[in-house]
A and B are shown apart, each in its own frame.
Chain A
Amino acid sequence: TQLLEQSPQFLSIQEGENLTVYCNSSSVFSSLQWYRQEPGEGPVLLVTVVTGGEVKKLKRLTFQFGDARKDSSLHITAAQPGDTGLYLCAGAKSSGDKLTFGTGTRLAVRP
């Protein structure tokens, strides 16, 4: 049973478009992380959110943690080819707990 479902699974867009990726669960998480993984490499941490309703911005990326801490979203403004990769959310149910990774969203941004 996958605790964290991501949608969409695949996304192909034109450079300059906006997009939103969703990470949903029926479980409550104490913290949630977003990673990006490029081909042939390991995932790289983008952000950690810990408070319900929290919004964090990283340049053109905006991350939000749901009020109930069961879901999260990643919004990219004016996507660039360098944003191409696999986006993974990962949640921890309690402080110091192991991470459970989501199913992933594979993003391709065409020049």
Chain B
Amino acid sequence: DARVTQTPRHKVTEMGQEVTMRCQPILGHNTVFWYRQTMMQGLELLAYFRNRAPLDDSGMPKDRFSAEMPDATLATLKIQPSEPRDSAVYFCASGSGLDRFNQPQHFGDGTRLSIL
């Protein structure tokens, strides 16, 4: 089965360091989503792309977070500088965007980020 691949699976770093998370969407999917999941806030949408163009990044703190899609096979989420409150599990999901109603989203297994 095709899967969304996220790297790294775990990341522990000190506050102030740059963090880069990567996502390889399912081949042929044209929509990519970045989510953050915490116990307190649940699953929150940070940003999403369609055909590599950013459509909505209103959920993302702009001063320190940035999301890009250098090509159709790679999406990145960067945090610079990182802070302890950024500790969470970050998920990437992709979809085909072809269905009339909101398409199913296929999630990766996440990056568990701990900022010390």
Task: Tell me, rounded to whole Å, the shortest Cβ–Cβ distance linking B51 to chain A.
Answer: 13
Give bound CA distance, A103 to B108, whole Å: 20
A40 touches B109 (CB 8 A): yes
* B102 with A45: CB separation less than 8 A: no
A45's partner among B43, B45, B91, B104 (CB-CB below 8 A) is: B104
**In the complex, B100 has a CB within 8 A of chain A:** yes
The verdict on A99 contacting B91 (CB below 8 Å), with A43-B43, A88-B43 known, is no
Residue of A nearest to B48 (CB): A98
Is B45 touching A99 in the complex (CB atoms < 8 A)?
A: yes
The B70-103 residues at the A interface (CB cut-off 8 A) are 91, 93, 97, 100-102
Instruction: Knowing that A43-B91, A98-B45, A101-B35 touch, tell me 20 more A-B residue pairs with CB under 8 angstroms.
Output: A2-B42, A30-B101, A31-B101, A33-B102, A33-B104, A40-B109, A40-B110, A41-B109, A42-B91, A42-B109, A43-B43, A48-B101, A48-B104, A95-B101, A96-B101, A97-B102, A98-B48, A98-B56, A100-B45, A104-B42
